[in-house]
Amino acid sequence: ETGVTQSPTHLIKTRGQQVTLRCSSQSGHNTVSWYQQALGQGPQFIFQYYREEENGRGNFPPRFSGLQFPNYSSELNVNALELDDSALYLCASSLAGTGVAFFGQGTRLTVV
């Protein structure tokens, strides 16, 4: 079975720009969650999607948005980038009800 894959692995954006990060779920998983991990800190929950619907959201502003597609892959979009958005963005997939999440390697976003 394939694991969780994220793209791109690294990118640099300018303040005020928009960015889209992508995630392919592990085979058979129907739930995708996104986390932001600032340098030296633990991951913070952004939101979760289940069957293409948002199923919970952390303390992040509306400029953080997402999508989940019928094949359970997902996108994270961030508008009006700020310097503090610089972080490692992690995608995690799981099968609803199992309580176990599997993480991708992350996308390192640098906002300059």
Partner 1 sequence: GDSVTQMEGPVTLSEEAFLTINCTYTATGYPSLFWYVQYPGEGLQLLLKATKADDKGSNKGFEATYRKETTSFHLEKGSVQVSDSAVYFCALSNRNNAGNMLTFGGGTRLMVKP
Question: Could you say which residues in the range 20-79 bind partner 1, by CB under 8 A?
Answer: 31, 33, 35, 40-45, 48, 50, 55-58
Stretch that binds partner 1, among 11-19, 61-69, 71-79, 93-101 (CB under 8 A): 93-101
- The verdict on 8 binding partner 1 (CB under 8 A) reads no
Q: How many CA atoms lie within 13 A of 40 on its CB side?
A: 0
- The verdict on 105 binding partner 1 (CB under 8 A) reads yes
Helices and strands (DSSP H and E) totals, the chain: 0, 11
Residue in 24, 76, 94, 109 binding partner 1, rule: CB under 8 A: 94
Q: Is 83 helix (H, G, I), strand (E, B) or coil?
A: helix
Nearest to 93 by CA among 22, 7, 9, 27: 27
Find the angle CA(73)-CA(23)-CA(39) to the nearest 5 degrees.
Answer: 150
Could you list the residues that contact partner 1 (CB under 8 A)? 4, 6, 31, 33, 35, 40-45, 48, 50, 55-58, 90, 92, 94, 96, 98-106
